A and B are shown apart, each in its own frame.
Chain A
Amino acid sequence: MKLIKRFFRAIVDHLDMPLFLIVLALMGVGLLTVFSATSSDGFEKLDKQLINMAVSTAIMLLVARTPPQTLMRFAVPLYITGVILLLGVALFGIVVNGSRRWLSLGLVRIQPSEIMKIAMPLMLAWYFHKHESLLKLRHFLIAGLILVIPIGFILKQPDLGTSLLIGASGFFVIFFAGLPWKIMLGLGAVGGAALPFAWSLMHDYQRRRVMTLLDPTSDPLGAGYHIIQSTIAIGSGGGLGKGYLNGSQTHLEFIPEKHTDFIFAVFSEEWGLLGNGILLVLFTLLIARGLMIAAAAPTMFSRLLAAAITLVFFIYAFVNMGMVSGILPVVGVPLPFISYGGTALVTLMLGIGILMSIQTHRMLVKK
Chain B
Amino acid sequence: MSDFYHSEQDSDRFRNRLLVAGTGVLLAFLLLFGRFFYLQIVQHEYYSTRAESNRISLVPIMPNRGNIVDRKGIILARNYSAFTLEITPSKTLGLEETIDGLAEIVEIQIKDRRRFKRLLEESKNFESIPIRTRLSDEEVARFAANRYRFPGVEVKARLFRQYPEGPMAAHAIGYISRINTKEKEAIDEGGHGANYKGTDHIGKIGLEAHYEYDLHGTAGHEQVEVDAGGRAVRVLSRTAPIPGNNLTLTLDSQLQKVAEQAFGGRRGSLAAIDPSNGAVLALVSSPAFDPNMFVDGIRFDDWDELNNNPDKPMLNRAIYSTHPPGSTFKPLMALSALTVGKRTPGQAIADPGYFNFGNRRFMDDKVGGHGMVDMYKSIVVSCNTYYYVLANDMGIDNIARVMGDLGLGKKTGIDIPGEATGILPSQEWKQQRFKKKEQQKWYAGETISVGIGQGYNAYSTLHMAHALANVLNYGKVFRPHLVNTITNPNTGEVRTVEAEPVRQISLKTEHVDLIKRAMAGVVKEGTGARAFAGATYESGGKTGTAQVYSLKGGRYVAGQVKERLRDHSWYVAFAPADKPKIVVAVMVENGGFGAQSAAPITRQVFDYYLTGQTPGGPAPETEAPEDATDGPLIEEDAHEAD
> A residues touching B (Cβ–Cβ < 8 Å)?
132-133, 172, 175-176, 178, 221, 229, 231-239, 248-249, 252-254, 268, 272-273, 276-277, 280, 283-284, 287-288, 291, 294-295, 298-299, 303, 307, 311, 314, 318, 321-322, 325-327, 365
Contacts and interface: CB of A to CB of B under 8 A. Distances in A.
Given A252-B233, A295-B15, A325-B35, A235 B54 contact: no
B110 interface: no
Contacts of B25: 284, 287, 311, 314
- Tell me what chain A mostly uses at the interface: helix, strand, loop, or mixed: helix
Q: Which of B28, B39, B46 has the most CB of A within 10 A?
A: B39
A232 B54 contact: yes
B225 to A, nearest CB: 7
A325 B38 CA distance: 10
A232 B51 contact: yes
Contact of B47 (A234, A253, A276): A234
B367 interface: no
Contact of A291 (B22, B40, B47): B22
B227 interface: yes
Give the 5 A-B residue pairs with the shortest CB-CB distance, closest first: A235-B47, A236-B51, A235-B39, A252-B227, A253-B228
A276 B40 contact: yes
A229 B233 CA distance: 19
A326 B47 CA distance: 14
Interface residues of B, number: 41
A277 B29 CA distance: 10
Contacts of B10: 178
Given A176-B17, A298-B4, A311-B21, A268 B36 contact: yes
5 contacts: A172-B21, A233-B51, A236-B47, A298-B2, A325-B32
Contacts of B33: 276-277, 280
Nearest to A322: B32
Nearest to B36: A276
A280 B233 CA distance: 34
Q: Which of B15, B17, B40, B50 has its CB near the most chain A CB atoms (within 10 A)? A: B40
Given A235-B48, A252-B54, A287-B22, 18 more contacts: A132-B6, A175-B17, A175-B21, A232-B50, A232-B54, A235-B50, A235-B51, A236-B47, A236-B52, A239-B41, A252-B227, A268-B40, A280-B33, A291-B22, A311-B21, A318-B28, A322-B35, A327-B35
B36 A273 contact: yes
Contacts of B81: none
A238 B44 contact: yes
B55 A238 contact: no
Contacts of B48: 235-236, 238
Contacts of A280: 29, 32-33
A284 B26 contact: yes
Nearest to A249: B51
Given A176-B14, A254-B228, A236 B44 contact: yes
A294 to B, nearest CB: 6
B569 to A, nearest CB: 66
A71 B409 CA distance: 109
Contacts of B233: 252
B303 interface: no
A276 B40 CA distance: 10
Contacts of B228: 229, 252-254
A221 B90 contact: yes
Interface string B518-560: 0000000000000000000000000000000000000000000
A178 B52 CA distance: 52
Nearest to B9: A178
Among B28, B225, B233, which residue has the most Cβ atoms of chain A within 10 A?
Answer: B28
B29 A283 contact: yes
A35 to B, nearest CB: 19
Contacts of A231: 39, 47
Nearest to B10: A178
B36 A325 contact: yes
B43 interface: yes
Contacts of A321: 32
A252 B225 contact: yes
B37 interface: yes
A327 B55 CA distance: 25
Contact of A235 (B17, B32, B44, B90): B44
B22 A236 contact: no
B226 interface: yes
Nearest to A280: B29
A285 B227 CA distance: 38
Contacts of A288: 22
Contacts of B26: 284
Nearest to B233: A252
Nearest to A238: B44
B229 interface: yes
Contacts of A318: 28-29, 32
A13 B443 CA distance: 127
B350 interface: no
Contacts of A237: 40
A80 B71 CA distance: 96
B72 to A, nearest CB: 53
A234 to B, nearest CB: 5
Contact of B14 (A272, A283, A303): A303
B470 to A, nearest CB: 65
B28 A314 contact: yes
B437 interface: no
A237 B37 CA distance: 11
Contacts of B43: 235
A295 B225 contact: no
Given A283-B29, A314-B25, A238 B41 contact: yes
A245 to B, nearest CB: 14
A249 B37 CA distance: 19
